[in-house]
Amino acid sequence: ISLNSFTNHEMTIFVHGTIKPPEISVADLIKIIRDKVDNTIYSQVITHMRKDPELSNGQIMQGLGLKRIDEKSHRTLQGLKNIYEYQYELFGKKLDDHYLYTFGWNGLLSWSKRYKESEFFYEELHKELDRLATLGVYPSIRIITFSHGGNVALNISIVKEKDTKPRNRDLIVDQLIMLAVPVQAETDQQIASPFFKKIYHCYSNEDNIQTMDFFSSQRLFSNRFFKKSYGYTVPENVTQIQLRVTKRVAGKKNVCIDPDKPHTLLAAKRIRLEHKDPSHTEMFHFKWATNWYNKKFPLNPLPIVALLPTIIHTINTYSSDQNHIVFDYCPSASGALLKQHSKRSNKCAVPFLTEQTHKELWELAKSFQPENFSLERQKEHMALALKRAQTDLEKTKSFKKPRNKALAHYFEWATSNIFDELPEFKKFRKIHLLSAQF
């Protein structure tokens, strides 16, 4: 029985992805591949970054654990909450109450650490549902994840299977919406778990980071979407969505456009759609949160996650019988083009957000842009986290110089005081992790 059978309440939980450190050493990179990240500069700097509220300001995340989004939350989260409520009003969705949360985890690029965080998530979820039950609230549960946050959520089904504690409920997730999750062998078959009633998996072909995680998986690279394999088929309750965004419609002068139905332009034969599809960053981050956000992205400053209520509503309205579709949003045409992933000739133009509505959402987002917030200030806090991580590890016995003389010489050079030349870090040989977040 679904929890929302009792009352018209919803619980939506946002789960962030892997946290990008300022930089990472070759030695730590090898330990990540071996899934042995304890007592490394990498793990320590991430720990200090997660404790610093300045580094979550501007992003869809808070502290560790399950945290309610309320008037005390930072402005980005308050803005996202208002954007969601605005969209619910557009298509007439009425709720007695909508509880929004974030689940914060350690953000480490480690399969074993992600599983530990899933155990923590499972316990936190039960505790909050017990608390709400004392208030007579039994909400449906929706989890919205980004990148490896999706694998944290998928792992919960494994945790539940192993759970032997007496519980007050048979916990079920009504909706799991995953954005840009690296599809990995460790968790891909968990989408078939009865723990998830409905799953939406959203991805973009322009997202190069999604498939590049060869650090924390048995596979050489992660997959972009779930595929049929020997003895296994993708369940019927899973809808996979390739997300596209059209920045310009070429050739529309040759087409007669109905002013009352501008979206019909998208299905015309004599036009050409020019795309600017989302990358990894545009899936989950507002423009002000990272330098990696593409300024030419048509939804600027909004991320895809901000429009999820309307995207899911549109798909359920016009294409509920399809399990793998292409969703192509064109802001200038106030519509979206829906196509079967395997049969691109079968397409349907449907109304989406009007230009006026899109503008209002844009203005709403801008009104909640964090004050006294800058990427330069974030860099300073990241540098401070790195300095603290080095200090912590120098105090531990496990942080010893290697016996090999060549490695010892490199170690002495690499751990020298690099902060004399901030913010360039010119004296520290490191490898960047390629993007704002995995």
CB 267 within 8 A of CB 349: yes
Nearest one of 249, 247, 253 to 276, comparing CA atoms: 247
Which of 11-25, 219-233, 387-401 has maximum average pLDDT? 11-25
Task: Say how many residues make up the chain.
Answer: 438
Give the distance from CA 370 to its chain's centroid: 20
- Summarised one tens digit per residue, pLDDT across range 161-204 is 999 999 988 999 999 999 999 988 878 889 999 999 999 999 99
What type of residue is 378? Q
pLDDT computed for residue 411 by the predictor: 54
As a whole number of angstroms, the distance between CA 382 and CA 137 comes to 40
With a pLDDT cut of 70, the percent of the chain lying above it is 86
Res. 393: pLDDT tops 60: yes
Buried b / exposed e over 352-365, threshold 16 CB at 10 Å, is: bbeeebbeebbebb
CB 216 within 8 A of CB 111: yes
| In the chain, domain spans | 3-24+40-239
| Position 398 confidence tier, pLDDT thresholds 50, 70, 90 | low
Q: What is the mean pLDDT of residues 136-158?
A: 95
Res. 434: pLDDT tops 60: no
pLDDT computed for residue 144 by the predictor: 98
Q: What is the mean pLDDT of residues 144-164?
A: 95
Q: What is the mean pLDDT of residues 226-246?
A: 90
pTM for the complete prediction?
0.86
